[in-house]
Amino acid sequence: MIKVGVAGYGVIGQRLADGVALQEDMELVGIADLMPTLSIRALREKGMPYDLYLVDGADKNAFAAADIPVAGTFADLIGKVDVMLDSSPGGVGAKNKELYEKAGVKAVFQGGEKNSVADVFFHGYANYEKGLGANYLKLTSCNTTGLIRSVDCLDRAFGIDRVAITIIRRVADPGDYHRGLTNALQIDKAPSHQAVDLMTIMPHVEATGILVHTPVTHGHIITVVAHGKKGRITSEQALAAFKQHDRIRVVRIDEGFQGNASFFRYARDLGNPRGDMYEIGLWEDSIVESGDNIMFAINIPQESVTIPESIDAVRACMKMQPDSKTGTAATNKYLKLGGWRSIKGY
Amino acid sequence: MIKVGVAGYGVIGQRLADGVALQEDMELVGIADLMPTLSIRALREKGMPYDLYLVDGADKNAFAAADIPVAGTFADLIGKVDVMLDSSPGGVGAKNKELYEKAGVKAVFQGGEKNSVADVFFHGYANYEKGLGANYLKLTSCNTTGLIRSVDCLDRAFGIDRVAITIIRRVADPGDYHRGLTNALQIDKAPSHQAVDLMTIMPHVEATGILVHTPVTHGHIITVVAHGKKGRITSEQALAAFKQHDRIRVVRIDEGFQGNASFFRYARDLGNPRGDMYEIGLWEDSIVESGDNIMFAINIPQESVTIPESIDAVRACMKMQPDSKTGTAATNKYLKLGGWRSIKGY
Amino acid sequence: MIKVGVAGYGVIGQRLADGVALQEDMELVGIADLMPTLSIRALREKGMPYDLYLVDGADKNAFAAADIPVAGTFADLIGKVDVMLDSSPGGVGAKNKELYEKAGVKAVFQGGEKNSVADVFFHGYANYEKGLGANYLKLTSCNTTGLIRSVDCLDRAFGIDRVAITIIRRVADPGDYHRGLTNALQIDKAPSHQAVDLMTIMPHVEATGILVHTPVTHGHIITVVAHGKKGRITSEQALAAFKQHDRIRVVRIDEGFQGNASFFRYARDLGNPRGDMYEIGLWEDSIVESGDNIMFAINIPQESVTIPESIDAVRACMKMQPDSKTGTAATNKYLKLGGWRSIKGY
Amino acid sequence: MIKVGVAGYGVIGQRLADGVALQEDMELVGIADLMPTLSIRALREKGMPYDLYLVDGADKNAFAAADIPVAGTFADLIGKVDVMLDSSPGGVGAKNKELYEKAGVKAVFQGGEKNSVADVFFHGYANYEKGLGANYLKLTSCNTTGLIRSVDCLDRAFGIDRVAITIIRRVADPGDYHRGLTNALQIDKAPSHQAVDLMTIMPHVEATGILVHTPVTHGHIITVVAHGKKGRITSEQALAAFKQHDRIRVVRIDEGFQGNASFFRYARDLGNPRGDMYEIGLWEDSIVESGDNIMFAINIPQESVTIPESIDAVRACMKMQPDSKTGTAATNKYLKLGGWRSIKGY
């Protein structure tokens, strides 16, 4: 059993903890945080299913006042694990790395850290093998993670040499008040970092893109214009490839998937914890051809999309499985991904 | 075991079904709907935990195409139950009532129906006894249900004779595309129907109010100015009364409950199905006094707030418990309401 | 002096009237509408700068009650003009056409009508000559009008044979309550009609695209991936071409143009009536190259962008100028378009 | 002619400058700012109708690069005026005050400064006389300014001794990206500062209130529950009083004033610069009675509502008019306020 800890029990950290807890070949030792946030208070109200460790600087009295039991210090947690999943606020992970190094513990960082924090910039499908045995890995960001799933899927099936993306980005998560946008679309300087990151992970692809922030909370939508290296890819071919993927859910507008909020609605109705979805959505009705380009739109559930690839990263760095195929398959099995494919007519 | 069916498996219907399924003295026989909506598709993907019956006019082929098994007709369902919870679209419930009458089945309608559909306009706390043995009950709407909880709570403790409310209404539910508002606050003609409805349920209170629609999805906020019949009610007195209530959760801004979205965030983190919350939220920091008036703000989780009172209605019409106190207590027990009070310091 | 009337004094109609009134070689005879809307009430409060005619079915008493003087009937207006600019609600224009035909009056319809209402589907730059002397013209929609400006600009300079667009659509206008979207991105079936319409107007270009609705009111943003027929177009070349265009305003994020709302802010600060802008915005910082593709983003001020091309249509159908160059130049002169180019450093 | 300067040409500063420029007994000497913002660039594109002075720390090269002429330094401007209207960012005004004191120049600060910056916390209607001859005045904030107009109006007519307010606050201005809220209602600790400020200006009234932030940009809505000192005030009485006020526009939902965005729409259609409105809106349909309380809703156009009272402040501190009645009347005349009352049927 690989022993795993989670640093930072925020939007991502909670989901990392839940995801690890579902892996039958991993043990979640505990989670670490600084303050009795709403998420920590919810953990308390649920009866502390995970042990809580306090990072340096935490105010013990605040936890006591909120009737929240504490299992130990951050150092205690690090001393008990093989690998840390670090989802601390951006920049804190780099500081934590010093503790991990001292303790001889591996770590997987999230997209908020600089690339330099890690030996490998990692994606479970596109470059799992690079992560094998590595000590420090950094996950791609939520948009890049989902984007690469779809581009890698087409690339393996047909060969892709160029993509142009438009990211229609959700600007905050549900429950955020510290950031937001009201009645405006905000544009970033091009090219977007997601296009640049895609080229780092998939160096044989030339990518560019534009990102526009929109005032919504339930998932980014990305349109992708991908160029077939060997010529035209038909909509039917692309669709068939996407439908085989365990982390891509193909949907149709007529089924009721009218936009990004439909995935959230559906996941809530499925009874998924927090209304989360690990898979990206891909609209069958959005796939169109233009010359040798294939164009399509995907939905990125920003809160949870990086969890599977983060668990893949644990598998890679701990050499639990030797390659992308077996590594992602193990993650998918425990997260029950792809089960929807058994529905007749999918 | 009281046998219950649910007509209309939409936003409310799903939650009624889930709520009934948790009552150990009730049996959920099945649910009925017209189309393979996202919610029905989710039911299918979950493996049909509830039997599905089709109402008249349903397209069987559409269900077959979506690989969704059907247990029978609406008439079949009605034939098997003691009481129907009807959460059909507004106006359809009135038509369904004819079927219920023919079959000699009781029914509880939601706020979208006209008052005339029912013998009793019902609230579990404020007038449970009126519903005892009645054949047709209509629930108060989501805002009115939550509002009455708070006003009835103060009224029982201190006596209330006048209230003025401002409803800051969420305009759509998560996942809605058929209604919405963009960058606007829309005002309704005063007085709002919620104030009028409150007077119907609590005829000894004079109420008025103004309603403003806002472009958000996660819960209405209502400010209440309540006048103490016997003079000043202090903030401390009001707070103590609210904290005793099983369907009112008292929170503080400093804990992280900064607005309506915090309740949704917290409920998701609690692991509540769909991120739902049955209780209303009440901000301790909002309670202020002005003369003999006490003013405070509550949060109404519009998707789920009427579920407990709807189950109370089943208890009343089936005479399962003789009065408000025992009826609501039974519902609360099975829905695990009020458990948060055991956290030290609440 | 060409005599012009405007049917429908809504969002577009008001702006058509104002635009025509600025043309020194045209006379605005009057406007026609059905109800004392806010816009008509504002006309009254301003002292009736334009004569108001009532269409059939209008309630005269409602106008009298609001103290609004009426100049005559719709037939009276039609009898006095050479050409009608019809911005009635979608479908009404087709009915009005019968009246125009009887009176021997030409008409220009807006994008809400079906293409079949007109002899020519028109754009001032891309196919002015097709409109010369035609009796019935239909303008491209707001998005298509702005999109074609940019694609036609590159096409004339460098040759374009393929485009893939992503339309990030504003879902309502400021002041709309009858339509809206709340916390959701909604996707349409692909290809979007704007791509199809572009091909109708510019048949030598292959176009496809995806449209996503967003909950904002201040302008659509479109990203365009355009393929150079003769090979790579550099960012510098594209920029130089865009800067020469009188209906394209090139901006930079660092100047403060952070998104669609910045154009509205800037137009308000300019003192433009209603905070309107006739030109599209184009972000210099968005222009990126990828292979033989050039990618960039434009901003479409949906309320006013079609006004110049609508006036061009009057020029074409009345043969006021013989070609696109002179026709658009006349419109631009009276609307004072392109004046920003005299600012040093633009 | 009283000579006036404006410090800070942002949202408020621009409007102060425009408002002063309309006063025939005042001269706008110029405006001062720090950076070539969009508003300054718009001033340039309009041909510099106002002279621009640079505050300390301004980067002259940036202005030169944008082709923007500069008339002098901040000290130059202060040296030429009798009174400064200071709408610098919060806190900067307090520093500027030292310069004003040295130069012997009076100043009027906006609501963002602390009360201690000024000798008098000022409202043109409620306490004009306190400002007579004062050196430093601070205006009430936008919400408080509009709120006091309505409460003072009732107070003068009927006597008011208690109010409870609910502020439904717009969270950003059109064109803001640095602040915003997405799909959330955020609540502040009660009582709101507006209620407290009202008591400072009108010490004979007891006030409390709750403020909720909403994700919109076009105007705050406040509901007011006001208690008649001498007993019941009828809706008709209140309506009649409001209709006499030059800075209150009474509207009806059926006219098309469905919400806050309608005022903005209407002001744009009126041709008001920037779509601004100096008057607050008051919905006739919102006025309801409950016991001795009268309840109603007002709309606060946050960008422009404080302009008239700021000009009143100049009149007071320069002793241009001796009392509230004549001071506000002079301001209203030049701003053409109340003209709508001449429309028959108002």
Separation in Å, CA of C216 to nearest CA in chain D? 10
Q: Is A175 in Cβ contact with D182 (below 8 Å)?
A: no
Model confidence at C342: pLDDT above 90: yes
CA dihedral A266, A271, A276, A277 (to 10 degrees): -60
At C114 the pLDDT is 92
Edge-to-edge strand order for the sheet containing A72-73? A72-73, A52-54, A26-33, A2-7, A83-86, A106-109, A136-139, A120-122
At C90 the pLDDT is 87
Distance in angstroms (rounded) separating the CA atoms of residues D218 and D176: 12
Q: What is the mean pLDDT of residues D329-346?
A: 96
Start-to-end C-alpha separation, chain A: 36
Neighbours of B164 (CB within 10 A): 29
Model confidence at A90: pLDDT above 90: no
Catalytic residue at D142?
Answer: yes
For residues A37 and A31, is the Cβ–Cβ distance under 8 A? no
Q: Which residues of C touch A213 (CB under 8 A)?
A: 259
Is the CB of A182 inside 8 Å of chain D's CB atoms? yes
For chains B and C, count residue pairs whose Cβ atoms are closer than 8 Å.
49
Distance in angstroms (rounded) separating the CA atoms of residues D185 and D92: 30
pLDDT in 10s for each residue of chain B, 346 residues: 999 999 999 999 999 999 999 999 999 999 999 999 999 999 999 999 999 999 999 999 999 999 999 999 999 999 999 999 999 998 899 999 999 999 999 999 998 899 999 999 999 999 999 999 999 999 999 999 999 999 999 999 999 999 999 999 999 999 999 999 999 999 999 999 999 999 999 999 999 999 999 999 999 999 999 999 999 999 999 999 999 999 999 999 999 999 999 999 999 999 999 999 999 999 999 999 999 999 999 999 999 999 999 999 999 999 999 999 999 999 999 999 999 999 998 9
Distance in angstroms (rounded) separating the CA atoms of residues B276 and B267: 6
Task: Give the residue among A112, C252, D88 at the shortest CA–CA distance from A96.
Answer: A112
Q: Mean pLDDT over all residues of chain C?
A: 97
At D128 the pLDDT is 98
Could you tell me the CA-to-CA distances from B22 to B3, B15, B63, B331 in Å, in that order? 13, 11, 27, 9
- CB neighbours of B112 closer than 8 A, spacing ≥ 6? B89, B90, B91, B93, B141
Separation in Å, CA of A341 to nearest CA in chain B? 10
Could you tell me the CA-to-CA distances from D136 to B201, D96, D119, D292, D315 in Å, in that order? 55, 12, 5, 39, 13
Start-to-end C-alpha separation, chain B: 36
- Pairing label, strands C136-139, C120-122: parallel
Separation in Å, CA of C254 to nearest CA in chain D? 10
Q: What DSSP letter does each residue of D125-148 carry, written as one string?
A: TTSGGGGTT-SEEEEPPHHHHHHH
Model confidence at D90: pLDDT above 90: no
Tell whether the torsion through CA atoms of A306, A307, A308 and A312 is positive or negative: positive
CA dihedral A8, A10, A12, A18 (to 10 degrees): 90
For residues A81 and A31, is the Cβ–Cβ distance under 8 A? no
Both tokens assigned to D123:
């409202």
Model confidence at A234: pLDDT above 90: yes
- CB neighbours of C17 closer than 8 A, spacing ≥ 6? C6, C9, C28, C31, C50
pLDDT by residue (tens digit) across C206-236?
A: 999 999 999 999 999 999 999 999 999 999 9
Q: Mean pLDDT over all residues of chain D?
A: 97
Task: Give the residue among C284, C296, C299, C166 at the shortest CA–CA distance from C228.
Answer: C296
Residue C125 φ/ψ, nearest 5 degrees: -90, -45
Q: Pick the residue of A178, A179, A183 with the most D CBs within 10 A to test the interface with D by mutation.
A: A183
- In the three-class reduction of DSSP (H, G, I as helix; E, B as strand; rest coil), residue D201 is classed as helix
pLDDT by residue (tens digit) across C176-203?
A: 999 999 999 999 999 999 999 999 999 9
pLDDT by residue (tens digit) across D157-194?
A: 999 999 999 999 999 999 999 999 999 999 999 999 99
- In the three-class reduction of DSSP (H, G, I as helix; E, B as strand; rest coil), residue C219 is classed as coil
Separation in Å, CA of A161 to nearest CA in chain B? 36
Helix (H) / strand (E) containing C202: none
Residues of A that are catalytic: 142
Chains touching chain B through at least 3 C-beta pairs below 8 angstroms are: A, C, D
Both tokens assigned to D114:
């602390």
For residue A39, what pLDDT band results from cuts at 50, 70 and 90? very high
For residues D194 and A159, is the Cβ–Cβ distance under 8 A? no
ipTM for this prediction: 0.97
| Chain D residue at shortest CA distance from B169 | D185
Chains touching chain A through at least 3 C-beta pairs below 8 angstroms are: B, C, D
Q: Is B182 in Cβ contact with C176 (below 8 Å)?
A: yes
For residue D244, what pLDDT band results from cuts at 50, 70 and 90? very high
Q: Is D181 in Cβ contact with A182 (below 8 Å)?
A: yes
Distance in angstroms (rounded) separating the CA atoms of residues C239 and C121: 29
Model confidence at D205: pLDDT above 90: yes
- In the three-class reduction of DSSP (H, G, I as helix; E, B as strand; rest coil), residue C189 is classed as coil
Chain B 186-225, residues with CB within 8 Å of chain D CB atoms: 186-191, 206-210, 212-219, 221, 223, 225
Chain B 232-261, residues with CB within 8 Å of chain D CB atoms: 253, 258-261
Separation in Å, CA of B14 to nearest CA in chain D? 24
Is the CB of D283 inside 8 Å of chain C's CB atoms? no
Q: Is A259 in Cβ contact with C185 (below 8 Å)?
A: yes
Both tokens assigned to A122:
């990692």
- In the three-class reduction of DSSP (H, G, I as helix; E, B as strand; rest coil), residue D41 is classed as helix
- CB neighbours of D337 closer than 8 A, spacing ≥ 6? D246, D247, D278, D279, D308, D331
Q: Which residues of D touch C272 (CB under 8 A)?
A: none
Distance in angstroms (rounded) separating the CA atoms of residues C112 and C34: 18
At C319 the pLDDT is 98
Chains touching chain D through at least 3 C-beta pairs below 8 angstroms are: A, B, C
At D52 the pLDDT is 98
Chains touching chain C through at least 3 C-beta pairs below 8 angstroms are: A, B, D
pLDDT by residue (tens digit) across C33-67?
A: 999 999 999 999 999 999 999 999 999 999 999 99
- In the three-class reduction of DSSP (H, G, I as helix; E, B as strand; rest coil), residue B142 is classed as helix
* For residue C191, cis peptide bond before it (omega within 30 degrees of 0): yes
Q: Which residues of D touch C250 (CB under 8 A)?
A: none
* For residue B191, cis peptide bond before it (omega within 30 degrees of 0): yes
For residues A126 and A152, is the Cβ–Cβ distance under 8 A? yes
Q: Which residues of B touch C216 (CB under 8 A)?
A: 182-183
Residues of C that are catalytic: 142
Is the CB of B59 inside 8 Å of chain A's CB atoms? no
Q: Which residues of C touch D344 (CB under 8 A)?
A: 67
Q: Which residues of C touch D175 (CB under 8 A)?
A: 261-262, 264-266
CA dihedral A250, A252, A253, A256 (to 10 degrees): -90
Q: Pick the residue of C166, C239, C289 with the most A CBs within 10 A to test the interface with A by mutation.
A: C166
Separation in Å, CA of C284 to nearest CA in chain D? 16
Helix boundaries (H) for B207-335: 235-243, 260-270, 306-317, 324-335
Percent of chain A's residues with pLDDT above 70: 100
List the catalytic residue out of D78, D84, D99, D142. Answer: D142
